[in-house]
């Protein structure tokens, strides 16, 4: 089993066709958001602060960072 303290990037594909990128977050943030995926205002805890987002279509996890300038 993998270490739950690993860091990566979480992408939230929003209902308004935009993308929210959360870089260098722990996999536990992804797991929180994945459970909230179908809720009207998904939320999670980042750096001991509760963060609420607009409705999302899907939540995706990438184990490493994404080079947004290059495209992956």
Q: What is the pLDDT of residue 11?
A: 93
Q: 3-state DSSP helix/strand/coil percent for the chain, to nearest 5? A: 15, 45, 45
Q: Is the residue at 2 inside a domain?
A: no
Q: Is the residue at 67 inside a domain?
A: no
Give the domain extent around 27: 7-62
Q: What is the pLDDT of residue 1?
A: 45
Q: What is the pLDDT of residue 63?
A: 84
Q: What is the pLDDT of residue 71?
A: 56
pLDDT along the chain (72 residues), means of 10: 71 93 92 91 92 93 72 54
Q: How many domains does the chain have?
A: 1
Q: What is the pLDDT of residue 60?
A: 92
DSSP conformation class of 27: H
Overall pTM surpassing 0.75 (yes/no): yes
Q: Distance between alpha carbon 67 and the CA centroid of its chain, in Å?
A: 16
């Amino acid at each position: 089993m993998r270490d739950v303290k690993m860091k990566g990037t979480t992408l939230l594909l929003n209902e308004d066709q935009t993308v929210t990128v959360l870089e260098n977050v722990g996999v536990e943030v992804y797991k929180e958001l994945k459970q909230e995926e179908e809720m009207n205002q998904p939320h999670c805890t980042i750096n001991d602060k509760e963060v609420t987002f607009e409705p999302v279509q899907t939540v995706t996890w990438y184990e490493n960072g994404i080079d947004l300038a290059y495209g992956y």
